[in-house]
Amino acid sequence: MEKRVTFKGWLLPLALVFPQILISGVFFFYPAGQAIWQSLFIPDPFGLSSQFVGLGNFEYLLSDKYYRASFLTTAIFSTLVTLVSMVPALFLAVMADRLVKGAGTYRTLLIWPYAVAPAVAGVLWLFMFNTRVGVVSWYLGQLGYDWNHVLNDGEAMGLVVVASAWGRISYNFLFFFAALQSVPRSVIEAAAIDGARFWTRFFTIVLPLLSPTTFFLLVVNVVYAFFETFGVIHTITSGGPQQATTILVYKVFADGFVGQDLGSSAAQSVILLVVVGALTVVQFRYVEKKVHY
Amino acid sequence: MRFSAIGALVAGSLLASPFSAMAQTEVQFWHAFTGRLGELVAEQIETFNSSQSDYKVVGSHKGNYSETLNAGIAAFRAQEQPHILMVFEVGTATMMGAKGAIKPVYEVMADAGAEFDQDAYIGAVKGYYTTTDGEMLSLPFNSSTPVLWVNKDALKAAGIDPNVDLSTWQKVGDVLDTLKASGHSCPLTTAWQSWIHLENLSAYHNVPFATKDNGFAGLDTELAFNGPVQVKHIQTMGDWAKDGKFFYAGRRNEGGANFRSGECALFTESSAGYAGIKKEAQFDFAVRPLPYWEGVDGAPQNTIIGGASLWVMTGHTDEEYKGVAAFLNFLSSTDIQAKWHQDTGYLPITIAAGEKTKADGFYKENPGTDVAVIQMTANQPTANSKGLRLGSFDQIRGIIDEELEAVWSGDKTAQEAMDSAVERGNVLLRRFEQANR
The answer to whether the CB atoms of B76 and A47 lie below 8 A apart is yes
Cβ-based contacts of A254 with chain B (< 8 Å): 395, 398
CATH code that applies to domain B146-303+391-435: 3.40.190.10
**Fold match flag (B2-144+306-365 vs B146-303+391-435):** yes
Q: Tell me, what's the ipTM?
A: 0.86
Chain A nearest CA to B70, separation (Å)? 7
Report the pLDDT value the prediction gives residue B368, as an integer from 0 to 100: 85
Distance CA B249, CA B254 (A): 6
Query: Does the pLDDT value for residue B1 go beyond 70?
Result: no
The answer to whether the CB atoms of A45 and B263 lie below 8 A apart is no
Distance CA B108, CA B323 (A): 10
CATH code that applies to domain A61-290: 1.10.3720.10
Chain A nearest CA to B63, separation (Å)? 13
Q: Dihedral (C-alpha) A193, A195, A197, A202: value to the nearest 10 degrees?
A: -60
Report the pLDDT value the prediction gives residue A2, as an integer from 0 to 100: 58
Cβ-based contacts of B424 with chain A (< 8 Å): 66
Report the pLDDT value the prediction gives residue A52, as an integer from 0 to 100: 93
| Chain B nearest-CA residue for A243 | B402
| Chain A nearest-CA residue for B406 | A242
The answer to whether the CB atoms of A260 and B97 lie below 8 A apart is no
| Chain B nearest-CA residue for A130 | B249
User: Beta strands of B62-173 (E only): which ranges?
Assistant: 84-88, 102-103, 139-144, 146-151
Distance CA B177, CA B357 (A): 38
Residues B411-424: pLDDT tens digits? Answer: 999 999 999 999 99
Are B45 and B59 contacting, i.e. CB atoms less than 8 angstroms apart?
Answer: yes
Closest CA to B432 of A254, A42, A61: A42
The proportion of chain B whose per-residue pLDDT surpasses 90, expressed as a percent, equals 78
B57-92 burial string, b = 16+ CB within 10 Å, else e? bebebbeebbebbbbbbebbeeeebbbbbbbbbbbb
Q: Which CATH number fits domain B2-144+306-365: 2.60.40.10, 3.30.300.20, 3.50.30.40, 3.40.190.10?
A: 3.40.190.10
**Confidence bin at B49 (pLDDT 50/70/90):** very high
Chain B nearest CA to A215, separation (Å)? 38
Distance CA B199, CA B201 (A): 5
| Chain A nearest-CA residue for B430 | A60
Report the pLDDT value the prediction gives residue B23, as an integer from 0 to 100: 66
Nearest to A132 among B100, B258, B427 (CB): B258
Cβ-based contacts of A259 with chain B (< 8 Å): 392, 394-395, 428
Are B351 and B147 contacting, i.e. CB atoms less than 8 angstroms apart?
Answer: no
Residues A147-163: pLDDT tens digits? Answer: 999 999 999 999 999 99
Break chain B into its structural domains and give their ranges: 2-144+306-365, 146-303+391-435
**Confidence bin at B22 (pLDDT 50/70/90):** low
What count of other Cβ atoms lies within 10 Å of the Cβ of residue A63? 10
Distance CA B293, CA B232 (A): 10
Amino acid (one-letter) located at B199? E
Q: Per CB distance under 8 Å, which residues of A are interface residues toward B?
A: 42-48, 51, 60, 64, 66, 131-133, 150-152, 238-243, 254-255, 257-261, 263-264
Residue range B374-385: average pLDDT?
90
Nearest to A42 among B100, B251, B434 (CB): B434
Break chain A into its structural domains and give their ranges: 61-290
B189 three-class SS: strand
